Structure formats: C-alpha cells, structure tokens
Amino acid sequence: MSEKELGKKLDRCLADSAVKLGAGLGLGIVFSVVFFKRHTWPVAFGLGMGLGMAYTNCQNDLRYNLYVPEQDSLSLFR
Amino acid sequence: MLRVCLKGANSAARKCLCGNGVPLHPLQQCRSYTSGGSGSSAGKIVAASVLTVGGGVGGTILYANWDPKFRANVEKSIPYSDQVFGLALGPAAPPPVINKPRKVEPVQISSMSEMWKDSKQPKAKEVEKKAEQPDAEGPPAPAPQETLEEASAQVAQILSAIGEVPSVPAPGTHEAEAVPPPAALKGVPAAAAKCTECEHEPAVKERPEGEVAARLAEQDKAEQDLLTSLSSNLEDALGSTAKVTLQAIGAQEAALQAIAQHTRQLREAMEAEAPPDKKSTQWRVLEDALSERSRSVDEAGAAVLKAKAELDKLRGVIDGAKHLKIAAARPSILAAEENLHSMVVDLDSVVTRVQTAQSEAKIVSQYSELVNEAKAQFQKELNSITPEIQANWKGLTGKLTQDDLNSLIAHAHRRIDQMNRELAEQRVREQIHIDSALEQQKLEDKKALEVAVSTALEHNREQMRLEQEKKVEETREVMEAEMRTQLRRQAAAHTDHLRDVLKVQEQELRSEAEEILNSSLMEKETEYRRLTQDQLDSFTLDMNAAYARLKGMEEAIDSHVIAEEEARKAHQLWLSVEALNYTLKTAALNDPTEPLEGAVQAIKESCAEDEFAQALATALPSESLSRGVYSEASLRARFYAIRQLARRVALIDETRNSLYQYFLSYLQAMLLFEKAQEAPPAKLSAEDLDTFKLLSYAAYSLEHGDLELAAKLVNQLKGESRRVAQDWLKEARLTLETKQVVSLLSAYANAVGLGTTMAP
C-alpha cells in the first residue's frame, strides 16, 4: 500500500532519530566524561550530531525512493 | 523546473527584445516607410498595368468584333470569354455552312444545259408533242417553266444517281427556245420514249404513266382527227379544185377547139369558093361556130375564174394546213401543193394556148373582117353602080344587060387598077407595115414573153420550192429515221437499264422477303419456345415451391432445435455471468473478493464458441482472476485515509521534498480548510488541479458512486500525493476494469438471452 509507505518512512525516521540521538547523547556523555572533564558541550555536540544525522537520514529517506520494499532486487532487471 | 526555464527564456527573450530596441516596430515602420516612400512610383506602376490590361482587353474585343474566326478562337481557348464577348458585342453570327452543295448544283445544271443543247434532236420529241398541242399546253406550260431550276436540279441529281445512261432531260421547259420543230415520230417508239422521258421529270409534277399515255393518246387522237380532217379538207379541196380545174381545162380545151374550128372554118370560108347556098350554110355554120366559140370562151373564162377561185381556196386550205404544222400532213400537203402547182401550170398553159388560139383567131377574124369589109365595100360600090343588082349577084348572070356588064367590067377594071395601085402602094409600104407589124409583134411578143417568162418563173419558183420542200421532206424523213434509230437505241439502253434495276430490285425484295420470313419464323419459334419454357417454368416453380416449403418446414424444425440450443447456451452464459457478478459481491469490507478465476473459467466453458465472450473473459485483468478485486465500499473507505495523507503531503514534489517542506505541508494541511465534497465541474481548469480541490471532487464523486470519475480525478494528483494514492488508484483501476468487463459480459448475456427468446 503506497499510503502506508509514508507512515513507514516516518516510523523509520523516528526510530532512527531516536537511535541517533541516543547514540549521540551517549557518545557525548562518554566523551564529556572521559575526555572533556564533564563539560556539557560534548553532550550537546553529540546530541546535535545525532540530531543532524537523524534529520539527514530522515530527509534522504523521504526524498529518494531508492528503497524498493518487499521486492526482489532482481526484479528490476527482469 | 520547466516553468523556471520557461520563465527564464521569456525573460531572456524580453531582454533580447528590449535590447534590440523595439525590433518589431521598426519592421512595421519600415514597411510603412517603404510604402510611403515609393507610393508615387507604385501608383504609376499600377496605373500603367491597368492601362495595359485595359488596352489589351479592348483591342481583343474590337478585333473579335471585326473577325469572327478570331472571336471563335478566343472563345474556345479562354473560358468565359464568350460571355464577355456576348456582353460587349452581342451573340456571334452563325457561320455559313451550306456552301458546297450550292456550288455543286450550278455546275451540274450547266453540264445539264450543255447536254440539253447537244441533244436537241432527241429532246425535241416531247417538246414537239407538247408544242403541237397549243390548247392542251396551256396549263402545263407555265408550271414547267417556273420549275426550270428545280427540274434542272432534280434532273442533275437523277443523272448523278442513274449514272452514265444519257437520260432525256426534263421536257416542257424549252418552248421559248427557237427550236425548229422537227417531224414528230408516231407509234410505239414515241410512246416508249415519252414514257422514259416521263420518268425523268419528277420535279415537274410527275404525271402517272397512264395519264401520260392518256394524254398521248388524246394528243394522238386529236392529231389524227385534225390530220384526217385536214386531209379530208385537202382532199375535198383538191378534188373540187381538180374537178373545177379539169372542168376549166376541158372548157378551155373546148374553147380552144371551138376557136380552132371557128378559125378554120373562117379561113375556109374566106378562102374557099363555094356555091352560094353552101356559102350561106357555111356562113351559118360559121356563125354557129362563132357563137359556139364565144360561148365556149365565156364558159372557159368562167370555168377558169372558178378554177382560179378554187385554186385560191385550195391554196388557202394548204396554208391553213401548213399553219397547223402537223408533220404527218406534210406529204399530203406537199402532194396537194404539187397538184395545185400542176393544175395551175396546166391551167396557165391551157389559158395561154387559148390565148394564142384567140390571137390567131383574132388575126383570122381581122382578116375575115377585112375581107368582109372589102366585100362590103365592093358590094356597096356595086350597089352604087348597079343598085338594082341584088347581093347575090352570082345567080344573076342572065338578067344583066350589056351596059351593066360594061359598067361592071369598067368598074372591075377601075377596081383592078385601084387594087394594083393599092398593091403597089402596099408593096411600098410593105416593109414599113411589116416593120411596124414586127414592132407591134415584138412588143406583143415581149409582153407575151414577159408574161410567159413571169409565169414560167413563177412556175419554176414554185417548182423549186416544191422540190426544196420535197428535199426538206426527204431529209426530214432521213433525220426522222435516224432519230428513230437513236431513240430505239436509247430505248434499248433504257430497257437494259430497267432490266438491271429490276433485277437488283428483285434481289433486294427477295432478300427483304426472306428476311421478313426468317424473322417471323424466328418470332414464332421463340414464341413457341417461350410458351413451352413458361409451362416448364411454372411446373418447376410449383415443384420448387413445394420443395421449398418442405425445406422450410425442415429448417424451421432445425432452427427451432438450434434456437433451443442457443437459448440453452445463452442461459448458461447468463448463469455463469451471474455467478461472476455474485463473486464480485463477496467482497468483505477491507478484503478483496474471491479470486474470479473459477467463475471466469465457468464462463469460458459455457461459451466456448462465443468469441466475444471469450475475448471479454480474457480481457479481465489477471490480478482480479488470481487475487480478486476490492469492492467499491472498501475503496471508498480507503479513500478517506488516503485523502488525509494526500492533504498532508500536498506541498511535496520532486523539487520540494526536504523535511522542512514536510513540516510546512503538514502545517498547511492543518490550517487549510476545504469543502469536504465539492461537485466537480464538467471541465477541469488549471486552478482545479489543486490537490485539495481534486480530493474534494473525488470525495464527492465517490459519495455519489462514480468511482471512475474519482479515479480520474485522483489521477490528476501530482507529486507525493500521487505516490501516496498510487496503490489506491491501481486498486480502483482493477476494480473498474473488472466491473466494466463483467458488466459487458452480463449485457452481452442479456442481449443473447433476449435474442434467443425473441428468435422464432
């Protein structure tokens, strides 16, 4: 169903952004704790990086419909 | 992207235009400048061209007015020029066509006239015949004369048609010519020739041969009558004249005789010395003779007068006969003339004889008178001397005395002397007397000679004339004979020609008759054949009709069977289509129907021969067969979700698809309110292609059951909205297709069923 695709994309987007944000947060925290003496800026930096990556991924996902769901990749060559 | 490009191009174009500095206008201005600048020269050129064209056209019209051939040429080559010419000049005069025949005719006529001139002799016959009948000629004469040219033309045609047979030309048209009418022929050749001539005068009213023959007969009869009357007249006249002349001649002869006798007797009386009594008888006889002579002379004179009168009458009759100009009477006329001439000659000779005799007698009588006178004188003297002596002194010899005797003797002597003297005188005067007498005689002789010469000349002239006439007659006879032979020849040629023509005609008629016979025979045969054929046909028709009826009944039965079969098949088809329809209805709310394959298979089986149904059955989309289709209700329900989604991604397309745009599009969807359902217009304009409008139109159509229109409208979505609605559209398409095919099938089944039920 083509109408469900957008929802799926958005779901992916959200999931991805959650993951990226979490990963960014985590890494930020880690870096802040480990390398940067518990400053907050690596956390913000990590969060930002995560958000950015999530945003870009989301955008790319929404923009480029290269992802061919539920189809055999070889079907394009048939 | 395209719009941007277009806009860019437009702007660029506009820039270019502005950059060039009003490029369009200068062209127009140039055009106007050029037209304004060279306006006068153009006007001049236009005027010159108009003048040339007008001059050309006017010249053409004028020349066409003068020369009709040129006009005909122009009319032939240039279309509609004849109308122009008709307007300008009036209709063209029709060209003279009849020239050659006219030219041919005069030539022929001239040749004809030449022929006529050459053939005067043969031609003159009918002319002769006609000319001889002045009373019968009245009516035909003017008509033939009037139709001279017609007759000539007709005759020319006939001549050319007939060929080399020298036909006798049309008659009765040359009376005006001074043709000496030759002697006419009579009898059969004349009639035959006349008839042939009659054939050649169709222009002059063609008188039938019978009429012509009748006329001929009439003419002949009239001629005969006239001739007989004339000859009778002549004969009568001749007879009477001859009689009278003979009488006159007889009288003259008698007179001659009488005169001769008288003179003889007188001489005798003078010379003879007879006794007195005999003398008295002699004198008496003489007197008788004299009286006889005078009587006979008178008679002769009267007879001569009568004869002359008769001769004049005869001459008059002859002249009259000559005037009548009947050629047949010529010989008789000639004979009469000859007779007349001979009679005249005889009469004249007799008259001359009588005259000579009379002159002789006059001499003798003069002599006798002289003698008598002398005697009388002597007697008187004697009486004077001897008065008592009587006349008849011869018987008185005894009574005379001496003195008387002496005186007588003396007287006698005296008388003798006187006589001697007179004699001498007479002898002297003899010569003179003789001369005078000779002169007188010469004069008389001359007169007589003149008279004789004149009469002889007259007679000779008459003789010559008669001889000439005889010769003319002879030559005429010869010519007539020649003409007769020529005519005979002509008649022979004509008969030959007639024979040939008749032969040809016979052939033609025979062939015609044969043809007619054959054609009638064929007709009868065809008629018979037709009748037999009709009979056969009717019989065959009946047989065929019976057979056809039988066949019809068989066929009706067969067709009934077939119809039943058809009906069964249609029913089957209908049933299977109904089954298909039913399967369509099995769609649950969100699930598709059962796969239609089974029903379609059933249909395919039920209508194995029906191509249309087969085609339709195969036209169903494969997915409907395998998977089934969604119902309209499910599609409708699904549509609302799609609508919501489509609204949310309304702004997203290939160019605008960042996340920010997504957010904006979401915002728009939240803030923008449109009618839930809007009736779509008949025609979509550009502004109707807005997503929200389209969706409201589609919703409206869906609510009203028009899935097709809704699908069409949804098909107009662009960008992400379209992608979102793609699946729905596909499903809708499938459903629509299937529904269409199924409806077709059911309609077809219904039609077939209807057809079968309507069948006999």
Query: Cβ of A3 and B724 within 8 Å?
Result: yes
Q: Are A21 and A52 in contact (CB under 8 A)?
A: no
Q: Which of B321, B299, B328 is nearest to B237 (CA)?
A: B321
Q: Would you tell me the crossing angle of helices B209-271 and B188-199 to the nearest 10 degrees? A: 140
Cβ–Cβ of B728/A2 closer than 8 Å?
yes
* Residues sharing a CB contact under 8 Å with residue B184, sequence separation 6 or more, in sequence order: B125, B128, B129, B132, B190, B327, B328
Helices (H), B325-401: 330-385
Instruction: Check if A2 contacts B (Cβ < 8 Å).
Output: yes
Q: Which residues of B touch A65 (CB under 8 A)?
A: 723
Q: Which residue has the tokens 């007939």?
A: B162
Structure tokens at B276: 């007195």
Query: How high is the mean pLDDT in each 10-residue block of chain B (760 residues)?
Result: 61 55 48 56 93 94 90 88 84 60 46 48 46 44 47 49 44 41 41 44 62 83 80 79 78 79 76 65 77 80 82 82 70 77 80 79 75 77 64 56 79 84 84 82 83 84 88 91 93 94 95 96 95 94 93 89 82 83 74 75 78 82 81 88 90 84 91 86 80 91 91 89 89 90 86 68
What is the number of other CB atoms lying within 10 angstroms of the CB of residue B568?
12
> What pLDDT score does B318 carry?
78
* Cα–Cα–Cα angle for B514, B515, B521, rounded to 5 degrees: 90
Cβ-defined contact of B724 to A62 (cutoff 8 Å): no
pLDDT value at residue B274: 56
C-alpha–C-alpha distance, residues B738 and B718, integer Å: 26
Q: What angle do CA B541, B545, B551 make, to 5 degrees?
A: 140
Q: Among residues B340, B270, B255, which one has the least CA distance to residue B300?
A: B255
Q: Taking CB atoms and an 8 Å limit, are A58 and B659 in contact across chains? A: yes
- Sequence-ordered strand ranges (E) for B409-542: none
Query: In the structure encoding, which two tokens stand for residue B749, read together?
Result: 């089944």
Distances (CA, A) of B350 to B253, B301, B447: 7, 11, 18
- Neighbouring C-beta atoms of residue B452, cutoff 10 Å: 13
How far apart CA B577 and CA B583 sit, in angstroms, is 10
CA distance B744 to B618: 13
- Indicate the pLDDT class of residue A67, thresholds 50, 70 and 90: low
Q: Residues in chain B whose beta carbon is closer than 8 A to a beta carbon of chain A?
A: 638, 641-642, 645, 649, 657-659, 662, 720, 723-728
Nearest CB among B657, B658, B724 relative to A2 is that of B724
What distance in Å separates the CA atoms of residue B194 and residue B292, rounded to the nearest whole number? 65
CB-based burial of residue B475 (10 Å sphere; 0-12 exposed, 13-18 middle, 19+ buried)?
Answer: exposed
> What is d(CA B530, CA B616) in angstroms, rounded to the nearest whole number?
59
Mark which residues 16-35 of A lie under 8 Å from B by CB.
none
ipTM of the complex: 0.82
b/e burial code for range B126-140 (CB count within 10 A of at least 16 → b): bbbbbbbbeeebeeb
Residue A55 with chain B: CB contacts under 8 Å = 659
Task: Answer whether B324's CB lies under 8 Å from B226's CB.
Answer: yes
Give this prediction's pTM: 0.36
Distance from CA of B732 to the nearest CA of A (A): 13
Quick one: tokens of B609?
């021969």
Residue B689 DSSP one-character state: G
pLDDT in the model for residue B173: 43
Alpha-carbon torsion (B233, B235, B237, B240), positive or negative? negative
Average pLDDT over residues A17-31: 91
Contact yes or no for B581/B746 (Cβ under 8 A)? yes
Separation in Å, CA of B19 to nearest CA in chain A: 42
Q: Which of B259, B261, B191, B249 is nearest to B219 (CA)?
A: B191
Q: Write down the pLDDT at residue B497.
A: 94
Q: Residue B482: its pLDDT value, please?
A: 94
Q: Which residue, B120, B141, B119, is CA-closest to B132?
A: B141
The alpha carbon torsion through B485, B486, B488, B494 (nearest 10 deg) reads: 170
Closest CA to B137 of B177, B167, B107, B173: B173
Residue B563 carries which side chain, given as an amino acid letter?
A: A
Which helix H or strand E contains B49, and what residues bound it? helix B39-66
**Looking up tokens 């033309």, which residue turns up?**
B153
Closest-approach residue (CA) in chain B for A6 = B724
Give the span between the Cα atoms of B58 and B68, in whole angstroms.
Answer: 16
